[in-house]
Amino acid sequence: PPSLPWPRSFLLKSLEQVRKIQTRNSELLEQLCATYKLCHPEELVLLGHSLGIPKAPLSHCSSQALQLTKCLHQLHSGLFLYGGLLQALAGISPEVAPTLDMLQLDVANFATTIWQQMETLGVAPTAQPTQSTLPTFTSAFQRRAGGVLAASHLQSFLETAHCALNHWV
């Protein structure tokens, strides 16, 4: 296989963290569906536009056009963005809160793994990114719908990340 762009242990740890977050994230989606009957993210697209729920790009991580440093930056910025989004969902409900808390911690820890790898490679930005403006939710429904949208965007983000990382293992 092509020579590894990153140390194998970093790749293996990152893949494990992606799987850990994916498992937790689908748990969150299942709970939001079971508890609030919000089971179809595609039915919340309009609301997503009005709330301004962002999607994080991973264009530099596709196997066809992989650019290592930019891929790491996109991975970190995406995780940072989704970490902030999940934080904005705090207080969503007692049933979902434990899963949401764990998910936030797992996303933050994975962002640290990426950041440390950038530092090791000497390509880390000079300062940690600052959180862009996050959506504000004016009702319990908006917060729950925002949770479904954020989680489904995160799921596809992780899918792309898993493919990119898996390509090199």
Contact residues toward another protein (CB under 8 A) are 9, 12-13, 15-17, 19-20, 22-23, 36-39, 42-47, 49-51, 101-102, 105-106, 109-110, 112-113, 116, 138-142, 144-145
CB of residue 84 vs another protein: minimum separation in angstroms?
17
User: Residue 14 corresponds to which tokens in the numbers above?
Assistant: 């990152």
6 residue type, one letter: W
Identify which of residues 37 and 127 has a Cβ nearer to another protein in the complex. Answer: 37
Identify which of residues 58 and 149 has a Cβ nearer to another protein in the complex. Answer: 149
- Angle value at C-alpha 95, between 144 and 160, nearest 5 degrees: 55
Each residue of 45-72: b (16+ CB within 10 Å) or e? eeebeebebbbbebebbeeeeeeeeebb
Identify which of residues 54 and 135 has a Cβ nearer to another protein in the complex. Answer: 135
CB of residue 146 vs another protein: minimum separation in angstroms?
11
Identify which of residues 65 and 105 has a Cβ nearer to another protein in the complex. Answer: 105
123 residue type, one letter: V
Radius of gyration of the chain (CA): 16
